[in-house]
Structure 1
Amino acid sequence: MFDIVHRVAVENTPPEAVFPALTTIDGLAGWWTTDTRGDAAEGGVIEFRFPPGGFDMKVLETSSAERVRWQVVAGPDEWVGTTVEWSLRLDGDWTVVLFKHAGWSEQVEFMHHCSTKWATYLMSLKALLETGTGSPSPRDVHIAHPD
């Protein structure tokens, strides 16, 4: 199995302030995609839609302000069954966000694309928390060439 991993630090924002951006529909819509809906509570399913498709994530864990875990239950074949995990820790005036999209069966080109997109969305999360404005889809950085 293969994983996508990233690390970003958010200045002057404690983990308790980062947590709602990962665990509420409005928070997620502020940095990932404006077309976010569903049930963000543990056991619920969150629906994320992007042009031209999307993903459904079952919320596995939101029990503390330190860790959030989802499992992909619908979306592209390469994503179904994978998990997305967020770990938060305070380091001085910074909250370190460790991100992992785990369980890819192989390192296909789509995985490389998704790794880059996750990085852009993590920067959107950082911007939302530090400035109040993220760049969720459809206002995100576009990295693919037109087909």
Structure 2
Amino acid sequence: MSYTIYHNLMINKDVESVFKAVTDPEQLINWWPLKCTGKPKINEVYNYNFTDKYNWFAIVNLIEDKQIHFKMTDSDEDWNPTKFGYELEEKEDGTYLRFFHKDWPECNDHFKHSSFCWALLLNGLKDYLEKGIIIPFESRA
């Protein structure tokens, strides 16, 4: 058995802007990692840096402006078997974002803490896109 985190939210921005915010390293650093490299292409390797000690990679699968899925390749023990992603649907008043983080081996404290952090980070993504708010890295989840 494995466990999955789900979060869905409406973002009052067009789908292209939301897709870019979850794929472009220059925008990702405004709401999630400290540093980031990578390009939104199939099998591209992304590097997310949170500290020099915690620095992991993901491989991308995507459909332009519709979805992007990452497979963890070098993280911590709980995150290594997992995949996470964003699925985007254009709506009249913006973009409906469906987020998942699946294949967690246990419903342990790390899983629960990560679910809470994802909710905060996704709210930060929403604030970044809708209001231009950039939360300093040290204050993010």
Q: Which moves more between the two structures, 124-133 or 35-44?
A: 35-44
- Which residue matches 1:111? 111
Note the 1:30-49 alignment, pairs <5 A: 30-49=30-49
Aligned partners of 1:32 and 1:136 also within 8 Å: no
Structure 1: 5+ residue runs without aligned partners?
142-147
Runs of 4+ in 1 over 3 A off after TM superposition: none
Per-residue deviation, 1:40: 4.0
Note the 1:112-131 alignment, pairs <5 A: 112-131=112-131
2:43 is paired with a residue whose SS is coil
Q: TM-score, normalised by structure 1?
A: 0.86
Q: Distance in 1 between matches of 2:48 and 2:64?
A: 23
- Give percent identity, aligned residues only: 24
- Which residue matches 2:9? 8
Per-residue deviation, 1:111: 0.4
- Which residue matches 2:132? 132
Q: TM-score, normalised by structure 2?
A: 0.89
Q: Deviations over 1:81-130 (max 9, x none)?
A: 21111011122212111100011111111001111111111011001110
User: What do you get for the CA RMSD once the two structures are aligned?
Assistant: 1.6
Paired residue type of 1:47? N
- Which residue matches 1:144? none
The verdict on how the C-alpha distance between 1:38 and 1:66 changes in structure 2, with shifts beyond 3 A counting, is: closer
Q: Distance in 1 between matches of 2:65 and 2:39?
A: 18
Q: Distance in 1 between matches of 2:101 and 2:136?
A: 18
Q: Deviations over 1:55-87 (max 9, x none)?
A: 3111122x2211111100011111112111101
Per-residue deviation, 1:54: 3.5
Q: Distance in 1 between matches of 2:108 and 2:100?
A: 17
The verdict on how the C-alpha distance between 1:48 and 1:136 changes in structure 2, with shifts beyond 3 A counting, is: farther
Per-residue deviation, 1:22: 1.1
Count of residue pairs the alignment pairs up: 139
